Each structure stands twice: as structure tokens, then as C-alpha cells.
Amino acid sequence: MKTRTIKIIILAIIAFAGTACYTHAQDTMYVYKAGAVVSKRAIVQIDSITFKTSLQNIAVTDIDGNVYHTVTIGTKTWMVENLRTTKYRNGDIIGTTSFPTKSISAENTPKYQWPWNGNESDAAYYGRLYTWYAVSDNRNIAPIGWHVASDTEWTILENFLISNGYNYDGTITGNKIAKSLASNTDWFTSSYIGVIGNDLTKNNTSGFTALPCGIRYDFESLVFFLDMGYYCYWWTSSEQISGHAWIRYMSGSFYDSISLFRNYGSGAWGYSVRCVKD
């Protein structure tokens, strides 16, 4: 796991719990993020400072023996990698199609998983793409002690990052958090300020490490693996209407792609999965 460096500039000399105090009423502590002030407090209002990083290095193992690292963001602990299991928690196999681009659109509740474009060598890095029917199966695809993130839990993540200054410009209003969630690698580059692909070195301040792993599209017998390098999509565990569920997604290179977006997807399509600790 990479560690995160926090730069704090304190424009005062602070004497905590000492008999002498060298501060003045007008002295202020400033906290900077990406060159912008995200917080400031009068020194006379502070009696202690605690430094806490959100990055953890806890290993979680699924039934296939795949190991995942985690990150704690706010009150929730998330897997840093996309799920890549081929089995449910009880050991039952999650099926896959006889060839990667076989259509399943005529099936009522298809339960499948694939590596992107059928390339097994990519699964360990990008994770697997699952239908929502596999995600929502009561045999559970998450490791013991974990569950597929719900729509509400994604909203909690979004709100925490916005309110704590993870927008690309350091503001605490509006949804501009895509760069803070995206990995520092693999995204196609962009000249648009604030989008994921613009200066990858400024990505992933949250430690979430989202990769552009694409999707499996299946509609009226047309099947394609799309968008690797440009998009990432995740199922939530929350149904929207019958046959559809809420998703989150991010884009790397378009001019308005500064946000973590919310939409819904067809349950037969293949999206990635992130799990949250129970």
C-alpha cells in the first residue's frame, strides 16, 4: 500500500499544556490540501492536534484465496481492489458463459462473472465483472464479514469526501471527487482541468484506487466489452426497479467528468464490485 503524505503549514508557535503561551489572539493555524486552504482555526481555540491517516493495510481473503487490501474512509472500511472471486461464499461456482461475448439478454436472472474481454490474466489486477443477479444472490459473493456496498453506503462515501475537502479544487461543496477516488495509473490522459486523466499524480488522495476497468454490455444480443481505460462502473446491492440496480461510475477524460456519478443499470450487464466491512 502507498502511504499518503499530509502537508500542514502552521503559521504560529503553539505551546500546548505548557505554563508559557507564546500565541496571540490573532494567531491562526491553516491546513492546506493541494495548495488550497481547507481549514483554519484560531490558535486560542485549539488545545491539541491529532494526526490520523485513512490508509490501512489489512488483508482480507475471499473463498478463492484472493487477497484484498482495505482503506478506511470516514466510518466505513472499503476494499481497495475490485472483487475477483469466482465462487459464492458457500463454495458454489459463479458461472460464466461458454465464450465471453455470448449474449445472456434472453435469460431472466442470469448469474455470471467474466474477466474483461475474457482475459483471465487481467482479473487479478482489474477484478471481475458480475451481473447484478450474481451480486444479489443470497449465497453472497463477498467474503465473510463483508458485503457488497449499498447505494446508501456509496452516498455516505461521497458526502464524506466532499465535506472533508477531497474535491479536486479543495472546496467542500459540489461533487468533484472523481480524482480523489481514481488510481494514479492506467487512465487515459486528458487536458481538461479537474478530470481523472488530467495529471494522474494528483489522483487517489482518498486511497480508494479506482481503476478504469470497463464494462460488459449486453443488449438485444449485441455484446461488447467496453471502456477499459476510460470508465469504471460498480454495482450497488440496492435494486432500483425489477431487473435494474443502482450503480456508481466515473469517467476519465471527458470535460465534465469530475464527479462520482449515480445511475442505474440492467441486471444482465457486467460491472465491477466493491465490498464494505460489516
| Cβ(39)–Cβ(31) below 8 Å | yes
- Give dist(CA 271, CA 278) in Å, integer: 22
Cell numbers found for residue 30? 491553516
- What phi and psi, each to the nearest 5 degrees, are found at residue 159? -65, -40
| Distance between first and last Cα of the chain | 22
CA distance 266 to 110: 11
Residue 15 has pLDDT above 90, yes or no: no
Q: What is the pLDDT of residues 87-108, one digit of tens each?
A: 999 999 999 999 999 999 999 9
pTM: 0.80
Find the helix or strand (DSSP H, E) in which 251 lies: strand 244-251
Q: How confident is the model at residue 274 (pLDDT cuts 50, 70, 90)?
A: very high
Q: Say what the pLDDT of residue 12 is.
A: 35
N residues, the chain: 278
Task: Evaluate if residue 30 carries a pLDDT over 80.
Answer: no
User: For the chain, what is the largest distance between any 2 Cα atoms, rounded to a whole number of angstroms?
Assistant: 77
pLDDT in tens, 105-131: 999 999 999 999 999 999 999 999 999
Answer whether 135's CB lies under 8 Å from 129's CB: no
